[in-house]
């Protein structure tokens, strides 16, 4: 089973793209509701956690942990 883990500052990929064409969002506030900011147009929206999780496709990169180096780029 897959658990979606995300935290403040994470860049997440949403299932539906924003009207501006970008579907990458940055989590700028975490709570009962989650505020995400569109990476493309900087527009931010507040969505209930359940709704956010249903729209979340995957976490692209975490703010806390450095991106894992899997082969490419690693020296």
Q: Which residues bind Zn ion (CB under 5 A)?
A: 18, 20, 38, 40-41
Closest to Zn ion by CB, 4 vs 43, is 43
Closest contact distance (angstroms) between CB of 57 and Zn ion is 16
- Nearest-angstrom CA–CA distance, 33 and 72: 37
* Exposed / middle / buried, residue 1 (Cβ in 10 Å: 0-12, 13-18, 19+): exposed
- Nearest-angstrom CA–CA distance, 35 and 46: 4
Closest contact distance (angstroms) between CB of 11 and Zn ion is 13
Closest contact distance (angstroms) between CB of 18 and Zn ion is 3
């Amino acid at each position: 089973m897959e658990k979606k883990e995300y935290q403040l500052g994470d860049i997440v990929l949403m299932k539906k793209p924003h009207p501006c064409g970008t579907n990458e969002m940055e989590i700028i506030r975490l709570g009962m509701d989650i505020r995400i900011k569109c990476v493309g147009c900087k527009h931010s929206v507040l969505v209930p956690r359940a709704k956010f999780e249903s729209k979340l496709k995957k976490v692209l990169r975490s703010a806390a942990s450095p991106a894992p180096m899997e082969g490419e780029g690693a020296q």
